[in-house]
Structure 1
Amino acid sequence: QAGNEIEVDSRTSDAIALALRTDARIFAADDVIEESGVEFEGDEPDLGALSPSGQPPTGEMSMLGDVDMGEFRRFLDSVSPDQFATGEGEEGGKS
């Protein structure tokens, strides 16, 4: 609000909806990020369901289970929302 920072405690879905409508940033405590990480034990998840074509995913999508939370956190710290729209920051992608 006019450059002022306002702290709000909310559900994730509400925070995302509010941030999208107001072009606000979302911050999360490190312990929340670490606690929310999902680790699969045993069988790999069926990632084929994530592919719109019904075919098993390829490339980066097929390796999502191999990414550790620390690496993902470093990625999030180094990327801006604008880079998702332009494709910047992708390995081997556009610059």
Structure 2
Amino acid sequence: MVQVRVAGVALDASQQHVILLKPLDELPGKGKLLPIWIGSQEATSILIAIEGAAAPRPLAHDLMRSMLDTLGAGVERVEVTKIDDGTFYAEIGLTTSSGDRHVDARPSDAVALASRVGAPIWVADAVMEEAGVPDVFTTADDAEESVDEFKKFLDDVEPDDFLDG
């Protein structure tokens, strides 16, 4: 497992949202990014959480956090555990009064919740190896060119490109 952070949320050529996860120990422009296609509501929820913005009404992930708080449970960590036929899978590791629990989740929901509670996000090594893409961002001086390169990558890549075999 490799610990990651949310490096950003982008739109691909077909206007679908993509969350970009980056290993904590890798510098910008080095290593890999893990793109995961997500829904627009989840993208909004993640952006609100990482920017520290307030929503006018609680979003679904705010409700999850409130429910966990009310029940005395906490999020220990979230993990993107596997990719199967282009579908990513995740688990939320919870600490509860009755012991540790693991809950199956979509990566977008797991990341949105982790972003709200400050829980670490992890990705299985095999997932990063299979679906990670080269990080094209380098320095501020050539950031515009790197952004253009990454946009070109997003224009050309499709979720099906991550299917096995």
**What TM-score do you get using the length of structure 1 for normalisation?**
0.34
Judging by fraction of residues, say which structure has more strand: 2
Higher share of residues assigned helix: 1
Q: Which has the higher contact order (CA 8 A, sep 6+)?
A: 2
